[in-house]
Amino acid sequence: MKRTPFVMVVYSDFAGQVRGKGFPAAELPGRWHQGVGWTPTNIMINCFGAIPATPFGPRGDLLLVPDPEGQVLVDFADGSVPEHFILGDVLEMDRTPWACCPRNYLKQAIDRLRDDHGLHLRVAFEHELYHGGVQARPGGAYGLDAVRRAGDFPHALLAALDAAKLEPETFLPEYGPCQLEVTVRPALALEAADRAVKLRQIAQGLAWRQGSWVSFSPVVTPGIVGNGVHIHFSLETVAGQPLSHDPAAPDGIGDIASRFLAGIIAHGPALSALTAPSVLSYERLKPNSWSTHVTNIGRRDREAFIRICPVSDVPGADVAKSFNFEYRAADGAASPYLALGGLIRAGLDGLTRGERAPAATQEGPGALSPQEWQQRQIRPLPASLAAALDALEQEGDVLMENTVMRGAYVLHKRGEIAHVRDLDVPALAALYARVY
């Protein structure tokens, strides 16, 4: 059968879903500037494919314009059609950024960090995922046999990520049955978010071609450790000089980085509405779940809100470039642009306030007294998406300064809550596993 090469221009929306329009690849030279037509209400399509409510109605027109840096063209060499898509920006018809474009939301935060403070954020998204269609062996956590049972998927995924220039770094079987983890090398913030969107689509496209499936849902099997998308980040000057580490400072955290972390801690409950944005997300953010449930900074603690990641303890080792932090209250239901854009805005507020972050915990928060909780600014994270949205609305302009975007996002997410209000946790898990 004859095939016409085809390409999609896409974006990651409020639901973390990747949607867009396509055309014959031969038209691409003209589409770099022209883009494709788009509709404001499309941003209100929730992760289940419904539009419970929209502030835009049937009115308005937009452009979805491809970014050459967002292009993915991967031939899986299995006889299937290549995976060809391009990430883009949503613009008004006069080519100014649309108020509700998630990618522009991140770009604005990046610009403020650079222009107001002379800083860049270097980022890597660490993805955990569930690989369906394989038979897990009891006791297979982190095991060689778990990789073996995944068949060709690990090898083909790393090849596809490499072909897409994502610089794959590690791949491993995780603690949960059929759970895998994949990482790519750090990049500056926009490229890192683009890589996260690309990675999820490549993994899903590969699994589909192999007759299996993968899910980035925060919980696939209730009662089993969930899937996070941990955001590793470090600060540097625009010239590339690392700024996160100071061996003489408390917890080894440099002053600028400490103030940035203080903002994230201060806005943690509201930030979770952007980084853990599904109803099911809050089944993962619980105590003793290898996740986080409070707003603490922890040293080498995988249940901390912000983990100070390990570096070499060898005397004289230069750790400045590798010293980084891990934000752990994020999952695969979040658009990487919204998650990272919110995290940077919280950090920007910390830089403006100028206060150092509270001391890191060396033990679990449950071992601390109420006075120590107060001293270290530890608070519980919201127990539900509804509570997280309340916190986001109460924050006002700090995390989402554009009132049109904030109103639309909250309306979108409250519609998601209503959609699943009658489902129990097993039914929720089964539904979200198919969605993500």
**What does 159-190 look like in DSSP terms, one character per residue?**
HHHHHTT--EEEEEE-SSTTEEEEEE--EEHH
Q: What per-residue confidence (pLDDT) applies to 359?
A: 92
Nearest-10 crossing angle of helices 189-209, 153-163: 140
| Residues forming a β-bridge with 242 | 236
Q: Which amino acid is at 420?
A: V
Q: What per-residue confidence (pLDDT) applies to 117?
A: 98
* Dihedral, 264, 89, 411, 305 alpha carbons, nearest 10: -20
The superfamily in CATH containing domain 6-98 is Glutamine synthetase, N-terminal domain (3.10.20.70)
* Dihedral, 148, 154, 155, 160 alpha carbons, nearest 10: 170
Q: What per-residue confidence (pLDDT) applies to 334?
A: 99
Q: What per-residue confidence (pLDDT) applies to 150?
A: 93
For the chain, the straight-line distance linking the first and the last C-alpha, in angstroms and rounded, comes to: 32
Buried b or exposed e, range 14-46, using 16+ CB within 10 angstroms:
bbbbbebbeeeeeebeebeeebbebebbbbbbb
Two structure tokens written together for 427: 């039914």
User: pTM of the entire structure?
Assistant: 0.96
**Angle at 323 (CA atoms; ends 322, 328), nearest 5 degrees:** 110
Place of tokens 């502030």: 55
Each of the 436 residues of the chain gets a pLDDT tens digit; together they read: 788 999 999 999 999 999 999 999 999 999 999 999 999 999 999 999 999 999 999 999 999 999 999 999 999 999 899 999 999 999 999 999 999 999 999 999 999 999 999 999 999 999 999 999 888 888 888 999 999 999 999 999 999 999 999 999 999 999 999 999 999 999 999 999 999 999 999 999 999 999 999 999 999 999 988 999 999 999 999 999 999 999 999 999 999 999 999 999 999 999 999 999 999 999 999 988 888 999 999 998 888 999 999 888 888 778 888 999 999 999 999 999 999 999 999 999 999 999 999 999 988 888 888 988 998 899 999 999 999 999 999 987 999 999 999 999 999 999 999 999 999 999 999 999 999 9
Backbone torsions φ then ψ of 121, nearest 5 degrees: -110, 125
Backbone torsions φ then ψ of 333, nearest 5 degrees: -80, -10
Task: Count helices and strands (H / E) in the chain.
Answer: 13, 14
Q: What per-residue confidence (pLDDT) applies to 315?
A: 80
- Domain spans of the chain? 6-98, 105-435
Strands, E assignment, 28-186: 36-38, 62-74, 83-91, 119-132, 168-173, 179-184
Task: Provide the 3-class DSSP secondary structure of residue 27.
Answer: helix
Task: Provide the 3-class DSSP secondary structure of residue 299.
Answer: strand
Q: Which amino acid is at 42?
A: N
In the sheet with 6-12, reading across from the earlier edge strand, the strands are 18-24, 6-12, 83-91, 62-74, 36-38
| Nearest residue to 14 via CA among 46, 39, 37 | 46
Backbone torsions φ then ψ of 62, nearest 5 degrees: -140, 175
User: Cβ atoms within 10 A of the Cβ of 115, count?
Assistant: 10
Q: What per-residue confidence (pLDDT) applies to 317?
A: 78
The DSSP secondary-structure symbol of 236 reads E
Q: Do residues 41 and 61 make contact, with C-beta atoms less than 8 angstroms apart?
A: no
CA dist., res. 60 & res. 100, Å (int): 13
Two structure tokens written together for 334: 């979040």
Q: What per-residue confidence (pLDDT) applies to 214?
A: 98
**CA 419 → CA 47, 160, 433, distances in Å?**
10, 36, 16
Q: Do residues 128 and 214 make contact, with C-beta atoms less than 8 angstroms apart?
A: no
The superfamily in CATH containing domain 105-435 is Glutamine synthetase/guanido kinase, catalytic domain (3.30.590.10)
H helix runs in 20-68, sequence order:
28-34
Q: What per-residue confidence (pLDDT) applies to 19?
A: 99
